[in-house]
Structures are given as C-alpha cells and as structure tokens.
Structure 1
Amino acid sequence: MLILTSLLLISGVCVAVDLTINGSVGGTVELPSVLGSLKVEDFRFVWWIFNGKIRAEISSGHIEVDNQAQFKGRLQLSPDFSLTVRELRLEDSGEYQRVGLKEDGSQIPTYKIQLQVNESITTVQIQSELTWLPEILTCAAYLVCSSTGDPRPSYTWKKGKQRESSSELRFFLLPEEGDVIASCTAANSASEKTSNVTMRCIPTGDKIQKEHKHTHNHT
C-alpha cells in the first residue's frame, strides 16, 4: 500500500527547481530521475512526491504508483526511476520531487522538476479595420488578434520587418503600397498557431472600410 508521507520526513535543505518541463493537455511527459547507472537494489526506496504526497515509489524492489482520483491510471514508474505522466490535465502542473535513500543510509540529492501544463492553441483569428484619412491620403489600420484554447497565450505580430509583441497592431497604409500582409502568432509553452490577413488601402468616401483578401490559420 502506497504510504502518503510528507516530504518533511526526508531531511535536507530545500533547493531551487532543477528542470522545467512543458506539456499540453491530453499529452504525455516523462520526468527524468537523473540517477544514472544506479539500480533498484542500490536503494532502500525512491519516491516521487507531488503536493506533499508520494505519488510513486520503488521500495524493496517493489514498484507502486498512486491510483487515487487525480492520477488514476495515468502514472508509470520505470526501472530507471523516471516517472511518466499520461493524459495530462491542467491540475497536474506543479513541482515534482524525486527523493530517495540508498542502502547504506545516505540520502540522494533531491531533484525538483516544475511541470507546466497548458491548453493547446486551436485557432487564431484576426479582426481588421481600415479607416481612410483623406486629409493625409492614407489609411489607418487597426488589427486585433484573438485565439481559442489557452486563455492567456502570447501574441506576436509580423508585418514586413516590423515585429510587435501585442494582441493589437496599428499602422498607416498608403494606397501605392498595394497588398500588405500581416501575420499574428499566438503561442504558449505547448503550441503555437499563426493567422495571416492581406490588406489594401483603397481611397473611399466612406469613413471606415474593411477588406480581408484571405485569412487562414496554420501551425
């Protein structure tokens, strides 16, 4: 039976995170143990701890994983002590600690991994608005980028040599420039997608004109 024991039972000094791993909802990650050539028989036990509880352990050569609510059927502990987490969920994000005790009674250094699970970005949309400014014979362009999936991605605009990190982009567009392409990329640690819009400034008596020659999403 898996012992739900606090990390406080393992003495030692807290250390900073050793590794950060990014994953996407529904995906799989492997948390490495970095124990090299050490074998099961070299240890009294090796534990993987998350949220103050042992989630997987090797003790006296016996492997056991937590099959309670959150991780039921989703954990696998390998003979090299690496921990695989499948069908990732947002709540799996957090700090995982690999601790252990050798047969001679010496403690192995604690290894900490920060797992960050994000929703994958599924689509990117661009809304565009062109306003003809007759007094300066140019158009004012205003673009807004949005996406579905992760509610807090980063946005990056690209227009020619111009780069801007924002969900919005403003610029002036002359009629003689013809078709101008702007692209927006939404990204997080799990995925990224890009959408393009082609715009042209056409002199008009209307205050506002909108033109999308084509808009598409791609990874």
Structure 2
Amino acid sequence: MNNFQESCFSVLVLLVLLLQGSCSDPGVVHKAVGDSLELIADYPKDGLEVQWTYNETVFAEFDEANINLVRPKLFHKRLKMKKDSISITVEDLELRDSGSFSIIANTNSVQYPTKIIMLHVHELIRDVQIEYNVSRLQSENICTFHLRCLASGDPNPSYSWSGHQIQTQGPHLNISLRPAENATLTCTANNTYSVNYTTETVVCREKLDYSSVLSGFPLKYLLIAVGAGIVVVVIFGATLAVCCRRRSNKGQGESEAGITVYEEVNTDGPAKKRSESVANGMSIYETVNDTKLSQNLPQTLYDKINYQRHPAVSTSTSTSSPYQEVL
C-alpha cells in the first residue's frame, strides 16, 4: 500500500515538473544580421541531458559530456559548441534565422524548466537618402516639393520627418514654399535594432531650378556630363579634320606624281601631239609648237644655231664632212 502511494506521488511530481517546463515564458531577443546568438544550458552536469531545438526541430544534443549535432545542415558551418559551458552559439545570423529556439534539460530525477528564446534578426539601417522633385504653381507663385525618404538595409523600416515645424510619419512628405523661402528637413529611419537619418535643405527660387526637377539629381554630375560631351565632340572634330587633310594630300600627291616629262608615251596607238599627251596642258618643254610651219624652219635646238642646214651628202660625194654626217 505504501509502495503504491509512493509511486503515485512520484508520478504527480513528475507531471508538475513537466507542466512547469512547458509553461515557461519565452524571452524575446533582437539581433542584427551578422551577430551571434549563444544558447547556454547552465545546469549541473551530473547526469544532465540537453536538447537544443529550432522551431521545434532538434538540431543538437548533450549527453555524457559531449555535444552532438543532430541536423548539421540546419545551420551549416555556423555552429560553435563549447562542452565546458554546455553551450551552442549560432554565428553570422541571417534574416531567415528568426524563429523560436528552446533549451530542454533534464536528469534522471529532475526536469528543468524549458528555456524559450524568440529571436528576431534585423537588417542594420546603413544609409538614408532623400529624393525630391519640385513643381511650380505659376498662378499662386508657390513651389511644391515632393520628398521621399529611402533607407538601405532593412526593407521595412519606420520613417519620421522633422524640421520646418513639421512632425509626421511615413516615407513621403509634401511641403509648399514661396519664392526665396527654404526649409531644412530631416528624415529618420529606424527599426528595433538601429537608427539612421539624413538632412536636406530645399529652396524655392525665383525661377524654376531644373536641377531640382531631376529628382534631386546633383548639379555637379550634370556639369561633368556636359563637359564630357564637349570633349568628345572636340576629339571627333579634330580626328575628322586630320583624316580629311590626309586624304587631300594623298590625292594631290597622286595627281602630281602622274605628270612627268615622259607622260603619255603611247607606242601602240596613233601618234599624238605633245600638247595632247600632257594631262595638265603645256609643260616646261612645250616651248616649240607641235605644228611644223615648213620644212625650212628650225626643227631642233641646233637649227636655231645653224639655220641653213646643208643638204645631206651621200657617202659617194667627195665634199662630205664629218660635221654634216653628224647633223
């Protein structure tokens, strides 16, 4: 009878311990991408058994002074184990690691309360920028600025605006200014883990500032683009001029090279006059007219020196001279 009562009492104690372990309040932990999460089982080691779970899936166990990985691919190469402190560290956290972690520990006689950690991994807000454009209402002479705040890192941060007597929420803001008025505005982006902000000054000018129309496109980039275009045009024009000059010189050289003292000597066709054979008209040698006036007029340079040429003397004539034969 006593043994039965003792057995019932032991079962009742075990049920109470199990209920205590299953009803533990979870702890909420916020981490940034790249941080680490340490899961420590800080219990006495005598006869201790521990299980680490992620979204109710066991991925590691401790038994007999050793830690063993049950699902090594769950956090591939990102788990660091320490058997001395009975802990597992998840390194280089990613956004997809957000979820429920638990540490279940017990001995042969004790069931320890389960530790539950609700992990939220956040992207750091690394940069904040303000883009804007402006429209002008000519009838009322008012500039209306349409501003938008953009943050890199967390895809869904919270935005808030301040400055120029403005306190509002959200990524968009519209304000109206009169000519010569300006406003300095600050956009703040934040999430649970990080905060970042930027400031922009907008001015309503007398004439519409087209650099502002380009969604806040920096004027220096526009000037750089214009300068680059001018350089390209100058280089192209210079290259074109050099090519044209080379072609002109080449054509002139070919034309001059074709006119020589021996131009147009055609042995196959009918004989031509020298004035007709020279492509560029008369040459330095065209001092003697091609047309013979008579047989008695000078025919060569030597005829001018000795105009009255002696008639040709045959070899049989005794009055022949060497000079007559040469001429």
TM-score by length of 1: 0.73
Structure 1 alignment gaps of length 5 or more: 1-9, 215-219
Mapping 1:125-164, distance limit 5 Å: 125-164=129-168
Whether contact under 8 Å (1:132, 1:208) holds in the other structure is no
1:200 aligns with 2:203: yes
User: Partners in 2 of 1:158 and 1:73 — Cα distance?
Assistant: 45
User: Partners in 2 of 1:45 and 1:205 — Cα distance?
Assistant: 74
Give the corresponding residue for 1:97: 102
Larger Rg: 2
The one-character-per-residue Cα deviations of 1:147-169 (angstroms, maximum 9, x if unpaired) are: 33332222222224533220101
Whether contact under 8 Å (1:75, 1:83) holds in the other structure is yes
Give the corresponding residue for 2:53: 49
Deviation at 1:115, TM superposition (A): 1.0
Q: Which has the higher helix share?
A: 2
User: Partners in 2 of 1:28 and 1:80 — Cα distance?
Assistant: 17
Letter in 1 for 2:113: P
Give the corresponding residue for 1:110: 114
Deviation at 1:96, TM superposition (A): 0.3
The residue matched to 1:40 in structure 2 has which SS? coil
Larger RCO (CA within 8 A; separation ≥ 6): 1
Give the corresponding residue for 1:69: 73
Give the corresponding residue for 1:27: 35
Deviation at 1:65, TM superposition (A): 3.6
1:185 aligns with 2:188: yes
Whether contact under 8 Å (1:48, 1:97) holds in the other structure is yes
User: Partners in 1 of 2:95 and 2:210 — Cα distance?
Assistant: 46
The residue matched to 1:91 in structure 2 has which SS? helix
How many residues align? The count is 199
The residue matched to 2:154 in structure 1 has which SS? coil
Structure 2 alignment gaps of length 5 or more: 1-16, 219-327
Letter in 2 for 1:182: L
TM-score by length of 2: 0.52
Structure 2 vs 1, CA of residues 206 and 199 (structure 1 numbering), >3 Å: closer, same or farther?
Answer: closer
Q: Which has the higher strand share?
A: 1
- Cα RMSD (Å): 3.2
The one-character-per-residue Cα deviations of 1:6-28 (angstroms, maximum 9, x if unpaired) are: xxxx9547547522222222222
Percent of residue pairs identical: 28
User: Partners in 2 of 1:91 and 1:107 — Cα distance?
Assistant: 31
Give the corresponding residue for 1:124: 128
User: Partners in 2 of 1:147 and 1:185 — Cα distance?
Assistant: 9
Whether contact under 8 Å (1:132, 1:201) holds in the other structure is no
Letter in 1 for 2:168: E
Structure 2 vs 1, CA of residues 87 and 203 (structure 1 numbering), >3 Å: closer, same or farther?
Answer: same
